[in-house]
Amino acid sequence: LEHILESCCKKADASNYATMAFPAIGTGNLNYPKNVVAEIFFKEIKRFSKRNPKSPLKDISIVVYGQDTDTFEAFYAELQKKNAKKMKSILEVVKETRSTGFYSNLQETALGSLQMNFGKVEVLITQGNIVKEHTDAIINVTTREFYSKTGACSAIINAAGPTVQAMFSKQVTDSDGIVVTESGNLNFKYIVHIVNLKEDFTKQLCYTLYRCEMLKIASIALPAIGTGNHGLSPRDAAAIILDAVAEFSVQRKPRSLLQVKVVVFMAEMLKDFHEELLSRSKKSAPVERGIIPSFTSKTLWTFQSWHSRMHPQTQPSFEVVEIEPVQLQVFSNKEENIDKVFEMIETKLSTEEAEREIKDPLIQEFSPKEFDEMKALQNKYQVIIKIDTSGGLKIQGNIADVSHVVVELHKIMNDVRLRLTTAEEEELLEKTVQWMYLDSDEEYVIFTKSENIAIEKAYLQKRKTIYIKDRKKKINIHLATVVVSAPHSKLFIIQYLYNAEYVIPSDWVDEADFRGRRMITVELKRRSRKYQEIERDFKQSLGKYSHNPGFTIEEIIQIQNPVLWKLYATKKSEMDISNKGSRMEAPVERILYHGTAHGTCETINTNGFNRSYCGKNAVVYGNGVYFAVNASYSANYKYSPPDANGRKWIYRARVLTGDYTLGTKGMIEPPPKDLSVSSALLYDSVTDDKNPEVFVIFNDTQAYPEYLIQFKL
């Protein structure tokens, strides 16, 4: 590459050329390291300039393909390292170009169709009939009376049918100006109705798009709003619509709604949208507003967790504080000495600085407490922690400091995981077991959720003493008489309520044999009926894999975990009731398979399946725990990697799938079943197809790891 660049410069010089442009040679099919290519380019150009000070070649441009962001970043980073004055003007031009990167280049995707990216949101402008589009949802502009004689609204109302009008009428009285219904006779998930369009509807449309994001809608189509009864010119309507989309992209940082399609009925309107899009290619992104005032210069980013977006009144924020830069001035009577000093400094810095990323759904569950801990880490180690738009963390600073902070952040996430799991367990256990005591007034007083689960676990582990921190007293649980004693007080009888429905399976060992252990494993005997049943089903479900010459089942173990079982049984009882009479008529419980590496088996046996580890193998249908209908799917090397001896592990699990729907990438919970009834009533699971091969659950108590099969292929 050095030779090519040198030869090109020499030939241009010999030909008396004043300007020359290079592509980013080597970063495409040759796949050279982009940072190395950038370094070589600038080094060779600088070398040529020094050796040929009188050359007519005065202007050398490096052209990077507009959508190749990695290569652009590499060249941009290399430019930042070059502090010589002669490079300053180039750097300013690059920075100026970079600042307009919110709007991508305008492209014509099909005859008459236009496409431009507003940040992460793809905007499409097309001519056609909106009711025939293939998006998740469409937007309809209407009145409270749900009436329109002409335009897109009339077409949507007539095509959707009377059921949509009935759903709209039920909701409009209590609405906030947005009504979401099913699509009736149309092939969309939803119709999103804007009630009584305002004169300047930028904020109104932006809020509508935000509501769509909350519903996890991935794509939406809308008409040329404002050009009908509203009386706007097509160009003015285009400006307002595109302003709203840009505002939505910047302020809301969407993760689901990433495609907005504007469908114009008359082809001549495309010209106005084309001109409006073209005018934006040179503009910067709208100014980001946050709950921190924009004039606070040290605030670089404001993060709102998923919980805060659902409950705006409790929005936690995280301030990323800039570390004051060090200003260096180098003086010398020779320019090469200055260059040498800067090169030495750059080399030293490049070996000492580091950047690490952490991606984990738990980050979305951070509370103000976790944000305070992160801020303390920033101050202690002098690093920068940023939260990107997808909810991941970026840590920048000295290598050693970054390593320390990453370890501490993982500890914080483990604490969050424990907090969420404990809260879930407490909630479910309360419906199964409730401990209480009889006070001096002969009235029963129940223990709190946290006390309840602590006492229950102690009881199962045959412990005789437990310290309840919340009450600051010592409580002795006597297993024979089941009484409680506390300092300076009488003995109070504890009432232990137990629902017989959640009794552990009859083929398990007696609870006394657990001897304080949370879980035990029991190897099934090969001649037992249960072993032969599981073996038969497993072979059948493996399909072609079971015919491999090396296939053998080495052992099948049963996982006996009373705490997990009771949580699972409680959840099943809930779903049996909530799904009674469901129009899907789907079974609440299924026997499914889950492949894993041997290193995670002990964790699953003890704590169950954990959705926090999603993304290790697959997240294409959502960030949950994945289960396969057929063991052949789980036997894939990707999901059940063999150990050094060729052994593989697959769980045969009980899974509560209930009512299910199609999953999409990025989901952190199932979507609502019926918005006309309630937005809080969610599907129980999601899947890959109408004839599912894969089920995904988002509640850890919806699965129980009943059997673990160890085998070879």
Q: Tens of pLDDT along 226-251?
A: 887 777 888 999 999 999 999 899 88
Instruction: Note whether residue 299 is domain-resident.
Output: no
Report whether pLDDT(552) > 90: yes
pLDDT of residue 177: 83
Q: Which of 264, 280, 296 is the last residue of a domain?
A: 280
Q: 297 falls in which pLDDT band (50, 70, 90)?
A: very low
Phi and psi angles of residue 672, each rounded to the nearest 5 degrees, phi first? -65, 145
- 388 and 447 housed in the same domain: no
Report whether pLDDT(473) > 60: no
pLDDT of residue 147: 67
Phi and psi angles of residue 404, each rounded to the nearest 5 degrees, phi first? -60, -45
Report whether pLDDT(559) > 80: yes
> Using an 8 Å Cβ cutoff, are 365 and 305 in contact?
yes
- The answer for residues whose C-beta is within 8 angstroms of residue 275's C-beta and 6 or more apart is 235, 238
Q: 57 falls in which pLDDT band (50, 70, 90)?
A: confident
If you average pLDDT over every residue of the chain, what do you get? 79
Higher per-residue pLDDT: 430 or 231: 231
Instruction: Note whether residue 19 is domain-resident.
Output: yes
Q: What is the mean predicted confidence (pLDDT) over 47-69?
A: 82
- 86 and 10 housed in the same domain: yes
Instruction: Note whether residue 340 is domain-resident.
Output: yes
- 403 and 481 housed in the same domain: no
pLDDT of residue 150: 58
pLDDT of residue 432: 65
Q: Which of 392, 420, 448 is the last residue of a domain?
A: 420
Instruction: Note whether residue 255 is domain-resident.
Output: yes
- 257 and 276 housed in the same domain: yes
Instruction: Note whether residue 13 is domain-resident.
Output: yes
d(CA 57, CA 48): 10
Higher per-residue pLDDT: 343 or 80: 343
Instruction: Note whether residue 250 is domain-resident.
Output: yes
- 220 and 336 housed in the same domain: no
Q: What is the mean predicted confidence (pLDDT) over 89-111?
A: 55
- 673 and 572 housed in the same domain: yes
- 312 and 347 housed in the same domain: yes
Structure tokens at 227: 């050009």
- 612 and 568 housed in the same domain: yes
Percent pLDDT > 90 in the chain is 22
pLDDT of residue 326: 67
CATH of the domain at 479: 3.30.720.50
Q: 480 falls in which pLDDT band (50, 70, 90)?
A: very low
Tens digits of per-residue pLDDT, 268-281?
788 888 888 888 87
Q: What is the mean predicted confidence (pLDDT) over 530-536?
A: 93
pLDDT of residue 190: 93
The dihedral built from the CA positions of residue 477, 481, 482 and 486, taken in this order, carries a sign that is: negative
Q: What is the mean predicted confidence (pLDDT) over 110-114?
A: 67
CATH of the domain at 324: 3.30.1370
Q: 314 falls in which pLDDT band (50, 70, 90)?
A: very low
CATH of the domain at 7: 3.40.220.10
Say how many C-beta atoms besides its own lie within 10 A of residue 152's C-beta: 25
pLDDT of residue 192: 94
Q: 324 falls in which pLDDT band (50, 70, 90)?
A: low
Q: What is the mean predicted confidence (pLDDT) over 688-705?
A: 90
pLDDT of residue 471: 54
Of 225-239, 415-429, 636-650, the poorest mean pLDDT is in 415-429
Instruction: Note whether residue 289 is domain-resident.
Output: no
d(CA 535, CA 528): 11
Q: 98 falls in which pLDDT band (50, 70, 90)?
A: very low
Instruction: Note whether residue 438 is domain-resident.
Output: yes
| Residue 1, Cβ density class (10 Å: 0-12 exposed, 13-18 middle, ≥19 buried) | middle
- 88 and 170 housed in the same domain: no
d(CA 137, CA 140): 10
Q: 427 falls in which pLDDT band (50, 70, 90)?
A: confident
> Using an 8 Å Cβ cutoff, are 541 and 535 in contact?
no
Report whether pLDDT(496) > 60: no
pLDDT of residue 53: 82
pLDDT of residue 572: 86
- 587 and 691 housed in the same domain: yes
Q: Which residue has the tokens 């670089």?
A: 300
- 401 and 521 housed in the same domain: no
Q: What is the mean predicted confidence (pLDDT) over 128-144?
A: 90
Amino acid of residue 115 = Q
pLDDT of residue 557: 96
- The whole domain housing 243 covers 109-280
Question: Long-range pairs for 531-538 at CB < 8 Å and ≥24 separation?
Answer: 531/556, 534/652, 534/707, 534/709, 537/591, 537/652, 538/631, 538/650, 538/652, 538/709, 538/711
Selection from 686, 612, 690 nearest residue 655 by Cα: 686
Q: Which of 467, 498, 529 is the last residue of a domain?
A: 498
Question: Long-range pairs for 373-382 at CB < 8 Å and ≥24 separation?
Answer: 373/408, 373/412, 374/318, 374/409, 374/412, 375/318, 375/319, 375/321, 377/405, 377/408, 377/409, 378/320, 378/321, 379/321, 381/405, 382/323
- 152 and 268 housed in the same domain: yes
Judge if pTM exceeds 0.85: no
pLDDT of residue 307: 33
Half-sphere exposure at residue 152, Cβ-oriented, CA atoms within 13 angstroms: 29
Structure tokens at 657: 């799938």
The dihedral built from the CA positions of residue 309, 313, 314 and 316, taken in this order, carries a sign that is: positive
Q: What is the mean predicted confidence (pLDDT) over 50-54?
A: 84
Number of domains into which the chain is organized = 5
- The answer for residues whose C-beta is within 8 angstroms of residue 696's C-beta and 6 or more apart is 621, 622, 624, 625, 626, 627, 663, 667, 685, 686, 687
Structure tokens at 632: 């052949």
Tens digits of per-residue pLDDT, 12-46?
988 888 888 889 898 888 888 888 998 898 888 88
Q: What is the mean predicted confidence (pLDDT) over 315-337?
A: 66
